[in-house]
Structure 1
């Protein structure tokens, strides 16, 4: 795993040995950035929302690398549902499963999908199709009815019927979407001067920052052998409360809490990179809060002193 060297004024230099996590190595920045920024954010949001997602592409390698990349970007969380990077044509019945999944299908198998009568006769509004070769997101209903006349950009604004007001595209805080857009755009501009490893690390950091900002104090709310969900949500800014309302109910989040506190894993060894980032972020917040309080106190004292002088004269 990674080794982090930390120098503090209280205990001096010490070293953290991070858990070995191959997910950073599996991030393919080239394949990911071949998609538009809007599409990347919408796919990421759909995964967090635990939707049924089917990726379709021409090339096996590109398809598997892209799907693996999105799974890796969930760090420190994991996808707890069905995950098949390449689904053989003879097993396409899996897409009718009632639970969430992430599945990859080669375009050569599309005919099996469109010719599935059972699929046509059922309500599949909760399934989305991601065409990675054309940067297009469609509902499976649009796909099966041959509604392909819209352009790539049109599809980004005319999303599947499952994307209503209660879906992640609206629930994902605006501040997070803006941050992701800015960081991904910056990476596009600078990646030619970065090594592959640097690009992988930058992408991981960008997406992990969403979880750090929203969950940095999660450890403070696990006590009495339970995660105190409501108290945790109430400790956050109003702008991210709705996001945490649904995210903390997902199996993605619940699995993380179980691994961290309720299994035989040592909490000091699991997701240590994430915990270190959370601790650093929390310290920065506390410092900023302290500075704001100090600044307000100085202004208040100055105003009081000025008032006393006016009264004296």
Structure 2
């Protein structure tokens, strides 16, 4: 799980808003309706509506904008809270669900249901559905959930559903397992990203993220734009983007693009000219609509050529395009780049396990050594190492897809490494 994803949130969602956009950016969006009615966090109520229309409201049409998209807010504990949105009425009305759970497919489906209720003026059904979901505990991963109008939400086991198939109604969904590798076509973000951006640009963007650049992604369709942002960061696993992350930037925050530190920002194409008029330096720009990437750096050539070649070949195979093939191809590349971290762990009896940077970068090919000398100074790598050391020194075992890939691919120096036992040199 991403270190910025909140563990064990109290509710499935915190807030649902219906927001109206005025014809001018000079007027703040208006909240028409909210659930729960007693939601009192004024900062959230003032912030969320401004993220509901992240485009030039005077220029962009609904066809340009698209229906579903998702923004991200960061709370005081640096945890991400997701705003799942559905635009209606020509892009002038937005339904938004605010939740700590990264359940994209589930909440997009729920937004469609809510929009249907509103269109048919079934507000009692809408409120009852939301009230039932709001008051129930967060379901465990892979648990079927049935949203039934005029009934309590029903949490059923898979066995119960097999014995009583009538319970598996159209409104039934499976609580996602967000700890696994994303799959195509089940994961909407990765699917849209893989379809919209060609392999060469995916590799270029991946390399730019590994070098922690200032990165702008732009598209005229909000659903595609935010899917590309969310999909691309997922491919960094087991590492996570540690800097400014704004999947879609509202007009009032465009100055963020002038920030001197690394960022990953999505911008609707209707706002791109305004951004280009600002003083941008050393910025990587991926235009999803034209499938072009502009960069002042040669980040991809800084990665070991054998790793890049293997990743590129894997991504171009038809068999990779479904299931976890894409995610696993990037995971294998990460294992090839960083898997030898195990060999740089140092243990002395009575002392904490440590990581030796010098050992990590030596005895490698010149290009790999050059890359790793840069990598050890990157925030995403430091966070990864700190996380591994914290678990080892706390006596906690860990076994995840990355460690399994290191072992199966032989990407460490051949020493035994027990994930439930401290490393001994």
Shared fold per TM-score greater than 0.5: yes
SS of the aligned residue for 2:380 comes to helix
SS in 2 for 1:87: coil
Equivalent residues in 2 for 1:114-263, closer than 5 Å: 114-115=276-277, 119-120=278-279, 124-138=280-294, 160=295, 162-163=296-297, 167-187=298-318, 191=321, 194=322, 198=323, 201-223=324-346, 225-262=353-390
SS for the counterpart of 2:218 is strand
Aligned partner (choices 406, 413, 416) of residue 278 of structure 1: 406
Residue by residue, what CA displacement relative to the aligned partner does 1:225-271 show, whole Å, maximum 9, x if unpaired?
431011111143444212211122211100001111136876523x6
Aligned mates of 2:394, 2:230 — CA distance in 1: 24
Instruction: Establish whether residue 73 from structure 1 lines up as the match of residue 202 from structure 2.
Output: no
1:37: how far off? 1.8
Structure 1 residue 30 displacement after superposition: 4.1
Aligned residues: 231
Name the TM-score, length of structure 1 as normaliser: 0.66
How many angstroms does 1:35 deviate by?
1.9
Flag the structure with higher helix content.
1
Contact 2:181 2:328 in 1 (8 A): no
In structure 2, the gaps of 5 or more residues are 1-140, 143-176, 347-351, 416-425
TM-score by length of 2: 0.50
Shift of 1:31: 2.9
Higher relative contact order (CA 8 A, sep 6+): 1
Question: Which has the larger displacement, 26-35 or 104-113?
Answer: 26-35
CA RMSD of aligned residues (A): 2.8
Unaligned stretches of 5+ in structure 1?
A: 3-18, 139-159, 288-313
Label 1:88 to 1:22 Cα distance change in 2 as closer, same or farther (>3 A). farther
Contact preservation (8 Å) 2:340, 2:412: no
Per mean C-alpha deviation after superposition, the further-off stretch among 55-64 and 225-234 is: 225-234
Q: Distance in 2 between matches of 1:72 and 1:129?
A: 19
Choose 201-210 or 255-264, whichever is displaced more: 255-264
Kept after mapping to 1: 8 A contact 2:342/2:412: no
Aligned-partner SS, 1:94: helix
Does structure 2 conserve the Cα–Cα contact (< 8 Å) formed by 1:63 and 1:85? yes
